[in-house]
Structure 1
Amino acid sequence: MAAETFESRYRVSGMDCAGCGRKIDTAVRQLPGVEDVSVTVPTGALRVRHGGEVTDQAVLGQLRSLGYDGEALTPSGSAGPAAGDPGNAVGREDARPWWWTGKARLTALCGLALLTAYGVGTLFPSVELYAFLAALAVGLVPVAWRALSAARYGTPFSIEMLMTIAAVGAVFIGAAEEAAAVVLLFLIGEMLEGVAAGRARNSIQGLAALVPKTAFVEVDGVTTEVAAESVEIGALILIRPGDRVPADGEIIEGAGDLDEAPVTGESVPRRKVVGDPVFAGTINGGSVLRVRVTASASDNTIARVVRLVEEAQESKSPTERFIDRFSKIYTPGVLVFGALVATAPPLLFGGAWSEWIYKGLAVLLIGCPCALVISTPAAIAAGLSAGARRGLLMKGGAVLETLGKITAIAFDKTGTLTAGKPVVTDLVAGSHDSSALLSLAAALETGSSHPLALAILARAEADAISAPPAAATHAIAGEGVEGEVGGERIFLGSPQAAARRVPISPAQDAAIAALNAEGKTVSVLIAGGGIAGFLAMRDEARPDAVAGLADLKARGIRTIMLTGDNRRTAEAVAAGLGIEPRAELLPQDKLVIVKALQAEGLVVAKVGDGINDAPALAQADVGIAMGGGTDVALETADAAVLHGRVRDIPDMIALSQGVMGNIRQNITIALGLKAVFLVTTVIGVTGLWPAILADTGATVFVTANAMRLLRWTPRHQT
């Protein structure tokens, strides 16, 4: 019998770069009983899998020994919100303003000590050295302690260790003043990293703040204000005009325009009527709505988005994994190179020891890997957050990176390129005009839940056509529906069934054939012993489908429509969209087509509803689910567009390409600055001050560059 495994979750404060994450990962793995550790730097999350013997105190003690703060969150599987839930507390330090964090206070104290040392040295030159040594100790002792702790727990080549060696070495060659200033600059850089990392962290957690804290629950006609997190599935809530929606649900009474911009970035409010879903955090701009709750507070759309983005940030892209592997070799290499710079010229060429040791110490500072290792995860975290705020979910850095390389996309038809439900497209009058035709058809279909019946009823409502009462209505299997309206017998059904009852003229036959050729389903209405007229219905393309597909073609991406529908309907829909159709397919046929595209050397995305065609979605390089915030759309496939817009697919690809471009910029900045200052240091132009500025400056610049992605907006919305 397998031993039970537990998962404990923690929020860590002060963890601002990938180097911090590696130190924590390595140290926590040292605890007895730990089976696996997962550290997510952008969200400050730590997950520890163990056999039950690892305590919160042991984990938090390990964090504090490394110089971080933290708090235990509700373990997985027990009651209460999980680590990704919006009701969850963030780390105590993250909740403070940046100027009152531990890093900011240490930086201020170190700066004050350095200013004091300058003042004391000016007034009392004989004690100047001791004043600067004291100022140096204020900043260096915490840094050195973190370096030694990291080394003790398996990370000897940390940024803190490089800084400690450089500062202590500078003291021994008589540069105590410069060493103190360098430590201050290092602390300033760390503080600025924390500010930037906090922005990325708060951008996605800020979604949780969109959900109101209270909700108006109606029970037996009495409305009571309660905490939103206490509202249960099935409860009836009242949403007033101007209120934010407190929970996911379905409208059971009322209609109005809901502003989804706070959640999706969509500028135009969406009209919602009875039966439509509403999502927590959106704003009711119309009349009073009564909504039946469909998800708990810990599982509403925003909570799932926050949780999925946090989980996605744990999945590294190929580029990030390469940088991680490279940095593990790079940092020890910097130590070796710095030692060679310090010792080789004096030993081999008679150079001055103090001069070359100074240059070797500067090389250590230049070689700090912070800017390099943060260049990729910072950009990916910002990109995932920016996408999530606009309803574009990508499950990890690998998915985000692959999306930018897509060269072919296979779309499902029904519910993906089309709205997924038929609408009445044509009313062709016969013995009755179009209004009477629609009125009689609606009379027969009243109360039916058949998709074609719902289309007729929706068209009647839209055209303000009232339906008279019908009597003795009944369905005739395989033919249609029959009943009495105003004492007259009427029938609505297929053209074949209608032809068995009354003659259809050649002109009417031709009109029906023309509509069928357009992929439309025709229902014929018989009244008074003749053809009253006929209605044509079709599952129409989404309003944005043409523009979305045109954008993909402009990017050089091949688009294909895969459907199990008949060839005639598929070709008619494809012709209107300008897409290549493949019709009459079974799920296994779609899988074969995806494989064939990949065999041609194409990088293939498959877009579907997240339920059907699972084999093709799994086979594709990226499977993308289309949905309206449903569990399936959020939990399946590699990526999801929550709002069912074809337009979102090219937007997702554009975001991916923007993120990868940002990463390339960051790597160029990080390595370019190091290369420049390495040369200038070795030839004697720059020293310790510019060296640390090169490192901290590059780190801050790279992080700030990545944070620009948080303001990303689709091109068509700018």
Structure 2
Amino acid sequence: MERESCCSSKQSDQTFSVIKENDSSCNNQSEDIETDCCSNSGNSEPAEVNIQGEQQEYRISGMDCPSCALTIEKGLNNVNGIEKATVHYNTGKLKVVGKVAEVEKVVQKLGFTAEPINHSKNIKTYHVEGMDCGSCAQSIENHLNSVAGVANASVSFSTGKMKVDHEISVEDIVSEVKKIGYKAIPIEGRAKETEAKSHNEYRPIVFSGILIALGFIGSFTILSPIISTLLYAIAMVISGYKPVKSAFFAVKSRSLDMNVLMSAAAIGAAIIGEWFEGATVVWLFALGTALQNQSIEKTRKSIQNLMELAPAEAWIKVGSELKKKPVEDIRVGETVIVKPGDRIPLDGDIIEGETSVNQAPITGESIPVDKNSGDSVYAGTINESGSIEVRVTKLVEDTAIAKIIHLVEEAQEQKAPTQAFIDKFANIYTPIVFALALVVIVFLPLFGFGSWGEWIYKGLALLVVACPCALVISTPVAIVSAIGNAAKNGVLIKGGTFLEKAGAIKAIAFDKTGTLTEGKPVVSDVKVITQSEHELLSIAFTLENYSTHPIAKTIVAYAKEKQVQVKQGQLFKTITGKGVQATIDGKLYFAGNLKLFEELNVPLDAMKREIQELQSQGKTVVVIGTETKITGIIAVSDSLRPATASALKELKGAGVDEVVMLTGDNQGTAKRIADEASVTRYFAELMPEDKVNVIKQLRSEGYHVAMVGDGINDAPALATSDLGIAMGGAGTDTAMETADIVLMADNLEKLPHTMKLSRKALAIIKQNIWFSLIVKLIAFVLIFPGWLTLWMAVLSDTGAALIVILNALRLVKFKE
């Protein structure tokens, strides 16, 4: 297969992994030398970087399009001592390697906020009240850093936040801060902080909007033009301070983002005396940015909600006592007590009690699953009924939900082919339009095509139109929303590449055993001749009870389910390759295959045809009888999963043309399962390499092919297909690591939803791209006749971006 940026590379070792998109980096050797350091857009292989410095992750606030991420990257990569800075717009995360001391200040200068992600359980964040200057913050820092049990304290006066790495209690920290005259309040959750930040963000926008309205109304009444202009100027300063500041640092780091374009347009409007236009441009831009930030935050909440599923503390059993401990401190092998209605804190096995567990947060299953002693349970799932004792099998960082969060965040950080193409397009488009605007402003009036004022105004409008915000945001928001939706429904999609591929799939090949079927034999038919069914099962139970053969175990389990009692047997003997015998109630009985009874010369005419009919259906037949006659037969077969037939029917309704079954079983078994499942085609008696050939055949027929299997045994076929889908990821680490898409529950119910979701995502991405391009084209056309005003240009840009985001957000709520 061809290698694509950010997509699956099918390895020769029969596994496949995600090729993560790397960003090029630079390591400035001197403060006097500045190197233009941009993120790699996929045109070439990224250079190897010798990363040895300190590593830290940050959560970035204030980004409203991918160009903001590029600005931050460039700004940080130009800082002496930073080896590598990578910003992932989709997840709002910054990863820095090198000297991280100046990161927050540099990001703040660029107009954004960087908050270190708490990787240490000892680091806690507090609000501090009572500070009225920077020296107050310094005083608190100095005091706490001298307290025993405090590793480090950092206080920000501007944000009123304090981060403390401490081993002593929260109450002790609050007490120490109180000693020097201030009040420290622990931050309970990021939601409240975000809400407060959102309110603060709108205050200057509302105030500047009032000033613009007063100036506009006053221009028609008693206010002098000077006062109206003054109101506009104040409004421009209030709303424009942040974008102008960001634009300054963006230019300094050689980045041409929307802050630069918008600031140039607003300042240019003020220079030519269009104060109302300039103030309106800045205000609409600030409002649009705030609304975009608020909307985009919703797309990230799917992962934040996952993080909050597992409880922070758990009751553990120590001898005969119960003790509450943070989940981070609980080790493998400890016993956790989970009461009815509580969430299970860690992955483990039930050692006492029985209950039903709502596994929807992990697997997407809508119906609670019954759990008994010996069954596995997962962190974040809900204990519905009985109290249970769980032996912990995984640490908090290794639980299924922790891996889901990690994989989904990684998926959201990767660019889909469409997104990578659009980013490249925007990187070319923006400088070209910027240059065109300069030509319009300078050369057209210079050669006498009109007045300077006329062309400067049109050039400024062209600068605003040059912002490709709606276009570059059209794809990533849709992908993040769709991946979040899938995760909530128990489906892991490893990246935008695979989401796009799933939308194009027209043929799906399924491994039979364990995928379409249960993967374990069950009794399908019981035929009696000379006695009752209960008597036949009792004899079969007695004969097979001492055997370890899988078929024997199946018959024993069936007899127990039917509450059949075992008889007294003697002289048990195994007949290798044929069956078993025992003396029951003084009579010699046999249970085995047809060959055994042929050798015993037992008359078979009455039953031989029926036995052959059952065998032709792919069923294994166990004959029960004596030395002189057959008393009955029991047929055993692998059964279809309950949800298989309906899932495959839905797939056909979701646009999949070919549903194919692959199996190593004989033609009879394959035909029976194929008929029950209603697959389009089936291929039987296949070796692993034959399955690969079938996938190649389907691809040669023009289909985009997905392969569904267990992620291990079907590795060659999974690697050959366009898309590998593994089942039962909640219980299998290998499936989570190797497949492109993982169905967390061990069934196919969520596969139709995944196909529909991916097709819907592709449709919305196309809608967004076309809408963005058409709006830009209309704006371009309206500039030159002079019909497009500056505020209309801003409205077309920020308005289009907002509409694109809202359209993509429909994927968050998408249901089957």
Deviations 1:674-706 (A, max 9, x none): 222333333223311111111111111110110
Alignment equivalent of 2:746, drawn from 644, 664, 671: 644
Partner Cα separation in structure 1 for residue 307 and residue 367 of structure 2: 22
Distance 1:212 1:446, change over 3 A: farther
Where does residue 756 of structure 2 map in the other structure? 654
Partner Cα separation in structure 2 for residue 90 and residue 16 of structure 1: 26
Alignment equivalent of 1:96, drawn from 164, 169, 194: 194
1:159 aligns with 2:261: no
Where does residue 510 of structure 2 map in the other structure? 411
| Counterpart residue type for residue 147 of structure 1 | A
| CA deviation after TM superposition for structure 1 residue 430, in Å | 4.1
1:388 aligns with 2:487: yes
Alignment equivalent of 2:415, drawn from 311, 316, 327: 316
Alignment equivalent of 1:571, drawn from 671, 674, 690: 671
Match runs of 1:340-379 below 5 Å: 340-343=439-442, 345-379=444-478
Deviations 1:568-627 (A, max 9, x none): 322222232233222222222222222232233321111110111212211111111111
1:664 aligns with 2:766: yes
Given that 2:699 and 2:705 are in contact with CA atoms closer than 8 Å, whether structure 1 keeps it comes out as yes
Where does residue 9 of structure 2 map in the other structure? none
Distance 1:389 1:508, change over 3 A: same
1:673 aligns with 2:775: yes
Alignment equivalent of 1:524, drawn from 623, 634, 645: 623
Where does residue 589 of structure 1 map in the other structure? 690
Deviating more after overlay: 315-324 vs 629-638: 629-638
Partner Cα separation in structure 2 for residue 446 and residue 674 of structure 1: 77
| CA deviation after TM superposition for structure 1 residue 485, in Å | 6.4
SS in structure 2 of the partner of residue 691 of structure 1: helix
| CA deviation after TM superposition for structure 1 residue 519, in Å | 1.1
SS in structure 2 of the partner of residue 234 of structure 1: coil
In angstroms, what is the RMSD of aligned CA positions?
3.2
Given that 1:618 and 1:637 are in contact with CA atoms closer than 8 Å, whether structure 2 keeps it comes out as no
1:176 aligns with 2:224: no
Partner Cα separation in structure 1 for residue 621 and residue 373 of structure 2: 28
Deviating more after overlay: 65-74 vs 436-445: 436-445
Match runs of 1:540-555 below 5 Å: 540-554=639-653, 555=655
| Counterpart residue type for residue 244 of structure 1 | R
Where does residue 46 of structure 1 map in the other structure? 94
Partner Cα separation in structure 2 for residue 234 and residue 60 of structure 1: 41
Given that 2:362 and 2:744 are in contact with CA atoms closer than 8 Å, whether structure 1 keeps it comes out as no
Alignment equivalent of 1:428, drawn from 527, 538, 551: 527
Distance 1:134 1:556, change over 3 A: closer
Deviations 1:67-121 (A, max 9, x none): 222233467xx9999xxxxxxx999699421654664455345446656767998
SS in structure 1 of the partner of residue 812 of structure 2: helix
Distance 1:607 1:359, change over 3 A: same
Partner Cα separation in structure 2 for residue 23 and residue 360 of structure 1: 24
1:325 aligns with 2:373: no
1:614 aligns with 2:715: yes
Given that 1:609 and 1:627 are in contact with CA atoms closer than 8 Å, whether structure 2 keeps it comes out as yes
Distance 1:282 1:449, change over 3 A: farther
Distance 1:485 1:112, change over 3 A: farther
Given that 2:81 and 2:99 are in contact with CA atoms closer than 8 Å, whether structure 1 keeps it comes out as no
Given that 2:580 and 2:592 are in contact with CA atoms closer than 8 Å, whether structure 1 keeps it comes out as yes
Where does residue 561 of structure 1 map in the other structure? 661
| CA deviation after TM superposition for structure 1 residue 482, in Å | 5.3
5+ residue gaps, structure 1:
82-88
Alignment equivalent of 2:72, drawn from 8, 24, 44: 24
After TM superposition, the score normalised by the length of structure 1 is: 0.88
Given that 1:244 and 1:283 are in contact with CA atoms closer than 8 Å, whether structure 2 keeps it comes out as yes
| CA deviation after TM superposition for structure 1 residue 335, in Å | 1.2
SS in structure 2 of the partner of residue 420 of structure 1: strand
Distance 1:559 1:119, change over 3 A: closer
Given that 2:51 and 2:83 are in contact with CA atoms closer than 8 Å, whether structure 1 keeps it comes out as no
Given that 1:248 and 1:293 are in contact with CA atoms closer than 8 Å, whether structure 2 keeps it comes out as yes
Distance 1:173 1:590, change over 3 A: same
Partner Cα separation in structure 2 for residue 515 and residue 562 of structure 1: 22
| CA deviation after TM superposition for structure 1 residue 536, in Å | 1.6
| Counterpart residue type for residue 42 of structure 1 | N
Identity among equivalent pairs (%): 39
SS in structure 1 of the partner of residue 519 of structure 2: coil
Distance 1:306 1:466, change over 3 A: farther
Alignment equivalent of 1:70, drawn from 107, 114, 124: 114
Partner Cα separation in structure 2 for residue 636 and residue 253 of structure 1: 34
| Counterpart residue type for residue 801 of structure 2 | T
Distance 1:143 1:34, change over 3 A: same
Alignment equivalent of 2:405, drawn from 272, 290, 306: 306
Where does residue 696 of structure 1 map in the other structure? 798
Partner Cα separation in structure 2 for residue 532 and residue 276 of structure 1: 39
SS in structure 2 of the partner of residue 452 of structure 1: helix
Partner Cα separation in structure 2 for residue 60 and residue 452 of structure 1: 66
| CA deviation after TM superposition for structure 1 residue 711, in Å | 0.4
5+ residue gaps, structure 2:
1-48, 124-186
SS in structure 2 of the partner of residue 316 of structure 1: coil
| Counterpart residue type for residue 666 of structure 2 | N
| CA deviation after TM superposition for structure 1 residue 457, in Å | 4.3
Where does residue 139 of structure 2 map in the other structure? none
Deviating more after overlay: 684-693 vs 23-32: 23-32
Distance 1:606 1:80, change over 3 A: farther
Partner Cα separation in structure 1 for residue 545 and residue 320 of structure 2: 29
SS in structure 2 of the partner of residue 133 of structure 1: helix
Distance 1:55 1:101, change over 3 A: farther
Distance 1:43 1:443, change over 3 A: farther
Partner Cα separation in structure 2 for residue 491 and residue 68 of structure 1: 80
Deviating more after overlay: 33-42 vs 120-129: 120-129
Where does residue 28 of structure 2 map in the other structure? none
Partner Cα separation in structure 2 for residue 153 and residue 487 of structure 1: 96
SS in structure 2 of the partner of residue 605 of structure 1: strand
Given that 1:189 and 1:696 are in contact with CA atoms closer than 8 Å, whether structure 2 keeps it comes out as yes
Where does residue 710 of structure 1 map in the other structure? 812
Distance 1:500 1:190, change over 3 A: same
| Counterpart residue type for residue 270 of structure 1 | V
Distance 1:601 1:352, change over 3 A: same
Given that 2:445 and 2:451 are in contact with CA atoms closer than 8 Å, whether structure 1 keeps it comes out as yes
| CA deviation after TM superposition for structure 1 residue 265, in Å | 4.5
| CA deviation after TM superposition for structure 1 residue 380, in Å | 0.6
Partner Cα separation in structure 1 for residue 99 and residue 83 of structure 2: 14
SS in structure 2 of the partner of residue 247 of structure 1: coil
| Counterpart residue type for residue 55 of structure 1 | K
| CA deviation after TM superposition for structure 1 residue 244, in Å | 2.5
Deviating more after overlay: 307-316 vs 445-454: 445-454
